[in-house]
């Protein structure tokens, strides 16, 4: 007999399938012991074994109307790839994922699944959702380790040339989608390695760089040309790209300009933007010094200011570089924007969270080096425009924390270089590019944009979702000279119902 819970979760299944479903708990993923990992850069979770993956995949009800898919910004056919894992067809599962997602090994690791696909999974209504992200990661890793990427058959060349500015998740997604439609793609990347935040921001212990390299190499195998150390706006402008024969341009330059606290003492030696701190460690490989030439920043006590993923990454990096690591955040723990798993991992590794605390000034010694930070206690008032309760300083509660390094991790803004050198592009008051949210067309003909440069700092998967929309519009634009707005899913359903 099925319990009421089981009947509920299986309501859009065939009766025979319902009978077969036993209650299996969500499979946890083995991970490195926190006492060991706080001293190394190896990846924290080990990933599922074949057996764990199959067990987890068997929990999925393979719903006829899968709600999980509605929570995925790139519309991965989630039940289809999970079914393949359930049947032991692991490589086929990865190929299925790659039909929609150019970077499954990346998104399987860094996506906030708990607020996206897994938040919609029907099993989550009464119990624990299917671990979709862990299964995605498993399939993509299996394919990589087996060394069997499936190169799709490409159509004959279209004769059209596309310039993509920025090799982050948005640009790489556009490259993957358009090369498969027969277009010639060149990606221009300012840094020495492609990947955007995936290589310079997110640390090795969360996303090993060999994974990003593998995904970029896959695009290269499909014929995508990637030019590194190439700053568009300096080496060539957008207009010059058109003059040199490109038919369409995509701008995916992200939001790499750090924001500061605006308090006295921020220019002292020992205050680093999170971008600089993380780039030294990740892209410049300071953590592998002296094998690599960049020396790591060795500190005794590091104060990271902020509560997002960037703050968690900075604080966990500081801990691994041997410092005592403290996070100062002005709201409560529940309001921290970082993924729940990242906060949990940071705490497990011994990082101290000082919540409801805000810096007031950084204090230096006679040589201009950081020696302390003055903070004030906060309390929560009424909700503000963001819907979160507004933090209010508690009068007279100022106190000092001795430290030698401060890392403001308050978020990033877009770099103004491209808008400044391309007058036809309109920007918003936040410095982001104006783009149609359905087609990703900018205010300049033939130029499309997506990712953090349009939304401001957001997520990997939202950048990829924008990349997919832009690629579809760019293809239509190059082949027909026009761009039509896609019909929204609800409208499609309305039309079908009327029929």
Ligand X SMILES: Cc1cc2nc3c(=O)[nH]c(=O)nc-3n(C[C@H](O)[C@H](O)[C@H](O)COP(=O)(O)OP(=O)(O)OC[C@H]3O[C@@H](n4cnc5c(N)ncnc54)[C@H](O)[C@@H]3O)c2cc1C
Looking at residue 159, the DSSP 8-state letter turns out to be S
Neighbours of 264 (CB within 10 A): 13
**249 is a contact residue toward ligand X (CB under 6 A):** no
**60 is a contact residue toward ligand SF4 (CB under 6 A):** yes
CA distance 314 to 321: 11
Q: Give one DSSP letter per residue of 405-463, joined into a string.
A: EEEE---EE--SHHHHH-TT--B-TTSPBP--TTT-B-SSTTEEE-SHHHHSS--HHHH
* Burial class of residue 383, CB neighbours in 10 A (0-12, 13-18, 19+): exposed
Please identify which residue in 10, 66, 129, 233 interacts with ligand X, judged by CB under 6 A. Answer: 233
Closest by alpha carbon to 133, among 467, 455, 461?
A: 461
Please identify which residue in 43, 54, 66, 280 interacts with ligand SF4, judged by CB under 6 A. Answer: 66
Please identify which residue in 63, 238, 297, 449 interacts with ligand SF4, judged by CB under 6 A. Answer: 63
CB closer to ligand SF4 out of 63 and 406: 63
**10 is a contact residue toward ligand X (CB under 6 A):** no
**171 is a contact residue toward ligand X (CB under 6 A):** yes
**435 is a contact residue toward ligand SF4 (CB under 6 A):** no
**130 is a contact residue toward ligand SF4 (CB under 6 A):** yes
**71 is a contact residue toward ligand X (CB under 6 A):** no
CB closer to ligand X out of 67 and 111: 111
Q: Interaction with ligand X in 449-468: which residues (CB under 6 A)?
A: 451-453, 457-461, 463
**305 is a contact residue toward ligand SF4 (CB under 6 A):** no
**53 is a contact residue toward ligand SF4 (CB under 6 A):** no
Q: Give one DSSP letter per residue of 458-476, joined into a string.
A: --HHHHHHHHHHHHHHHHH
CB closer to ligand X out of 66 and 414: 414
- What the block records as the tokens of 265 is 């003492």
CB closer to ligand SF4 out of 113 and 314: 113
Helix segments in 272-359, DSSP class H = 274-282, 309-320, 340-348
CB closer to ligand X out of 407 and 483: 407
For residue 304, which phi and psi values (nearest 5 degrees)? -100, 130
Please identify which residue in 61, 164, 165, 321 interacts with ligand X, judged by CB under 6 A. Answer: 165
CB closer to ligand X out of 391 and 450: 450
Q: Give one DSSP letter per residue of 4-65, joined into a string.
A: HHHHHHTTTS-HHHHHH----PPPPPPB--HHHHTT--S-SB----HHHHHHHHHH----SS
Residues that bind ligand X (CB under 6 A): 110-111, 165-171, 188-191, 196-197, 201-202, 231-233, 252-254, 256, 278, 309-310, 313, 339, 415, 417-418, 451-453, 457-461, 463
User: Given the rule CB under 6 A, which residues bind ligand SF4?
Assistant: 60-63, 66-68, 78-79, 121-123, 130, 132
């Amino acid at each position: 007999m099925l319990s009421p819970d089981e009947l509920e979760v299986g309501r859009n299944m065939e009766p025979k399938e319902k009978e077969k479903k036993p209650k299996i708990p969500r499979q946890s993923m083995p991970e490195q012991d926190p006492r060991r990992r706080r001293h190394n850069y190896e990846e924290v979770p080990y990933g599922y074994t074949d057996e764990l993956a199959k067990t987890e995949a068997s929990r999925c009800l393979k719903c006829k109307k899968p709600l999980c898919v509605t929570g995925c910004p790139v519309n991965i056919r989630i039940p289809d790839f999970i079914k393949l894992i359930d049947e032991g067809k692991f490589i086929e599962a990865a190929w299925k994922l790659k039909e929609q997602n150019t970077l499954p090994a990346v998104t399987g690791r860094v996506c906030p699944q708990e607020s996206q696909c897994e938040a919609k999974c029907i099993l989550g209504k009464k119990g624990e959702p299917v671990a979709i992200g862990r299964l995605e990661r498993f399939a993509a890793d299996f394919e990589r380790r087996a060394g069997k990427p499936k190169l799709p058959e490409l159509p004959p060349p279209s004769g059209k040339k596309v310039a993509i500015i920025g090799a982050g998740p948005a640009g790489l997604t556009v490259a993957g989608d358009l090369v498969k439609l027969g277009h010639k793609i060149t990606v221009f990347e300012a840094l020495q390695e492609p990947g955007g935040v995936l290589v310079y921001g997110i640390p090795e212990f969360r996303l090993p760089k060999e994974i990003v390299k593998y995904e970029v190499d896959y695009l290269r195998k499909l014929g995508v040309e990637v030019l590194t150390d190439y700053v568009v706006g300096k080496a060539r402008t957008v207009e010059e790209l058109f003059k040199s024969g490109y038919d369409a341009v995509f701008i995916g330059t992200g939001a790499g300009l750090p924001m500061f606290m605006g308090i006295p003492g921020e220019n002292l030696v020992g205050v680093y933007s999170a971008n600089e701190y993380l780039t030294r460690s990740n892209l410049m490989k300071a953590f592998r010094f002296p094998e690599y030439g960049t020396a790591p920043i060795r500190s005794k006590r590091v104060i990271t200011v902020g509560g997002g993923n960037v703050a968690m990454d900075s604080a966990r990096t500081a801990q691994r570089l041997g410092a005592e690591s403290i996070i100062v955040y002005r709201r409560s723990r529940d309001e921290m924007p970082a993924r729940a798993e990242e906060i949990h991992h940071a705490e497990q590794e011994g990082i101290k969270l000082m919540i409801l605390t805000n810096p007031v000034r950084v204090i230096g010694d006679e040589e201009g080096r950081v020696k302390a930070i003055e903070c004030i206690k906060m309390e929560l008032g009424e909700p503000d425009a963001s819907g979160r309760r507004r933090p209010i300083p508690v009068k007279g509660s100022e106190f000092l924390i001795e430290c030698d390094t401060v890392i403001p991790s308050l978020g990033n803004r877009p770099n103004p270089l491209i808008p400044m050198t391309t007058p036809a592009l309109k920007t918003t008051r936040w410095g982001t590019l104006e783009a149609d949210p359905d087609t990703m067309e900018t205010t300049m003909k033939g130029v499309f944009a997506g990712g953090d440069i349009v939304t401001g700092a957001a997520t990997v998967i939202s950048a990829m979702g924008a990349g997919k929309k832009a690629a579809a519009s760019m293809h239509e634009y190059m082949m027909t000279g026009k761009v039509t707005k896609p019909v929204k899913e609800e409208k499609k359903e309305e039309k079908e119902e009327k029929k």
